């Protein structure tokens, strides 16, 4: 059995080993410091005797190295001594990212109730951590996660790991333990436990003395101190399943670029609003209030304009009632309810010679009809707006509906002017 020594000795970047077996491109060594893909951490990159290592996996307790080489041209055989070189940049990134996921989980412990761990994954540009929480995390929670994580980085908390029996590991207070996602931590009934913190600067209320920042069963590679992680930038959150919040964050160059981009955007917004960055929330709130006021004014003005258009529709006598009938440009049927009521009310006040009802046919790619009836006409003259719309859709297709005083129909398969003419002549 050749388990990887990478989790126990994550700083090793080159080593000597003996080939135990060769199967095509797959090499098994008597010992290895290459980390096999496991639990969300990708496999190490590097070379064996100059051959590029394409993948590293663990099968039945044996670490298998797949080489990017033609098997027939491979000169390695059992018993050969080989030199392994591990890609320093990628191993360092993975170790920082993996420890950062523990730091973020520790931050989540401090803001979320009934917290649980549902897995994580490291990609080349970001890291995701899946959390189960009693309530979904909001924007304010993301900000606090980022703040607390970076505080833990700044506090230079020690990171350590040791092996316990499975029974003892489960008894550790507050341990994050998920057998499905932490298979790399389990070996022959023993569990590898990674602890972040455990001692902190005196007087620090956020990381009290002797209280670990985070404790978790984990088989990955880690840095020895949180200060090695560098800045942490929370990127986004989503909800991939019921009760699960996925938090995506970055470390390293991606985090630095993200922080710079956010700062640049804040400065640009502050310049545009003639405010300081710290005053942006108040400036945006004032801008929103102004936008809401202007939107309300615009809505009122548009209703007045549409009401004026409806008042100008030509009138005709239809079945003993006075109708205003015509086409309306650049309008939506849902916009016409209030203007139609206003137009009818205005007509009723003009010495009683206003229309009893109106029918407006919308022009454009999707012709529609809106029918409105004055309250007294609906009762005295027996005009029913819904029945009129039904008659229109029976004649010209489409569908719609409504009540006695207002109805609308859409999907008309006819020229709007022809629909208006039919309404005048029916």
251 lies in the same domain as 165 = yes
Residue % of the chain over a pLDDT of 90: 70
DSSP state of 333: G
Indicate the number of domains in the chain: 3
Q: Does 294 reside within a domain?
A: no
220 lies in the same domain as 96 = yes
Residue 46: domain span: 14-86
CATH number at residue 73: 2.40.30.130
193 lies in the same domain as 48 = no
Last residue of a domain, one of 86, 111, 146: 86
150 lies in the same domain as 261 = yes
Q: Does 286 reside within a domain?
A: no
CATH number at residue 388: 3.10.310.40
Give pLDDT tens digits for 98-116: 999 999 999 999 999 889 8
pLDDT of the residue at 113: 85
Which residue in 251, 254, 248 sits closest to 232, CA to CA?
251
Give pLDDT tens digits for 278-307: 999 999 999 999 999 999 999 999 989 998
96 lies in the same domain as 82 = no
268 lies in the same domain as 144 = yes
pLDDT of the residue at 73: 82
Give pLDDT tens digits for 305-319: 998 999 999 999 988
Query: What's the rounded Cα separation, in Å, for the pair 36 and 29?
Result: 13
pLDDT of the residue at 183: 53
Q: What average pLDDT score do residues 364-386 get?
A: 84
| Residue 59 CA to its chain's centroid (Å) | 35
224 lies in the same domain as 335 = no
Give yes or no for residue 347 having a pLDDT over 80.
no
385 lies in the same domain as 241 = no
117 lies in the same domain as 254 = yes
Q: How many CB atoms lie within 10 A of CB 70?
A: 9
Give yes or no for residue 1 having a pLDDT over 60.
no
pTM of the model: 0.72
101 lies in the same domain as 178 = yes
49 lies in the same domain as 150 = no
Query: What's the rounded Cα separation, in Å, for the pair 221 and 92?
Result: 9
Which residue in 335, 336, 310 sits closest to 323, CA to CA?
310
pLDDT of the residue at 184: 54
Name the strand (E) or helix (H) holding 59: strand 51-59
265 lies in the same domain as 312 = no
Last residue of a domain, one of 217, 247, 272: 272
Q: Does 281 reside within a domain?
A: no
The DSSP line for 71-137 is GGG----TT-EEEEEE-HHHHHHHHHHHHHHHHHHHHHHTT-SS-EEEEEEE-SS-EEEEEE-SS--
Q: Does 287 reside within a domain?
A: no
Query: What's the rounded Cα separation, in Å, for the pair 193 and 159?
Result: 11
Last residue of a domain, one of 55, 86, 117: 86
Q: Does 106 reside within a domain?
A: yes
Query: What's the rounded Cα separation, in Å, for the pair 206 and 154?
Result: 12
Q: Does 394 reside within a domain?
A: yes
Give yes or no for residue 18 having a pLDDT over 50.
yes
Give pLDDT tens digits for 31-41: 999 999 998 99
């Amino acid at each position: 059995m050749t388990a990887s020594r990478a989790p126990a000795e994550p700083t090793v970047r080159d080593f000597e080993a003996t080939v135990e077996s060769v199967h095509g491109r797959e090499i098994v060594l008597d010992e290895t410091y290459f980390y096999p893909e496991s639990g969300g951490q990708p496999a190490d990159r590097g070379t064996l005797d100059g051959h590029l290592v394409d993948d590293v996996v663990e099968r039945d307790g044996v670490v298998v190295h797949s080489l990017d080489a033609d098997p027939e041209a491979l000169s390695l055989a059992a018993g050969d001594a080989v030199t392994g070189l591990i890609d320093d940049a990628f191993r360092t990134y993975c170790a920082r990212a993996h420890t950062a996921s523990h730091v973020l989980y520790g931050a989540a412990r401090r803001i979320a109730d009934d917290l649980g761990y549902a897995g994580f994954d490291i990609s080349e540009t970001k890291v995701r951590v899946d959390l189960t929480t009693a309530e979904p995390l909001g924007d304010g929670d993301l900000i606090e996660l980022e703040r607390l994580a970076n505080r833990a980085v700044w506090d230079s908390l020690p990171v350590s790991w040791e092996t316990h029996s499975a029974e003892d590991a489960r008894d550790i207070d507050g341990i994050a333990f998920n057998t499905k996602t932490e298979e790399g931590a389990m070996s022959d009934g023993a569990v590898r436990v990674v602890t972040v913190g455990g001692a902190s600067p005196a007087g620090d209320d956020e990381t009290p003395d002797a209280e670990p920042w985070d404790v978790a069963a984990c088989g990955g590679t880690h840095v020895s101190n949180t200060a090695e992680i560098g800045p942490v930038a929370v990127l986004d959150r989503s909800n991939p399943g019921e009760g699960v919040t996925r938090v995506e964050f970055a470390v390293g160059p991606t985090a630095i670029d993200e922080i710079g981009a956010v700062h640049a955007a804040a400065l640009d917004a502050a310049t545009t609003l003639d405010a300081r960055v710290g005053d942006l929330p108040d400036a945006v709130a004032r801008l929103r209030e102004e936008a809401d006021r202007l939107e309300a004014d615009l809505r009122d003005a548009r209703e007045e304009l549409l009401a004026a258009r409806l008042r100008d529709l030509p009138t005709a006598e239809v079945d003993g009632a006075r109708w205003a009938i015509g086409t309306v440009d650049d309008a939506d049927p849902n916009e016409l309810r209030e203007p139609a009521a206003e137009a009818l009310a205005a007509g009723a006040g003009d010495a009683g010679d206003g229309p009893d009802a109106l029918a407006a046919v919308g022009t454009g790619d999707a012709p529609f009809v809106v029918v409105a009836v004055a309250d007294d006409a609906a009762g005295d003259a027996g005009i029913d707006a819904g029945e009129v719309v039904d008659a229109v859709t029976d004649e010209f297709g489409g569908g719609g509906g409504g009540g006695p005083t207002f109805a609308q129909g859409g999907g008309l398969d006819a020229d709007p002017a022809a629909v208006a003419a039919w309404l005048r002549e029916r």
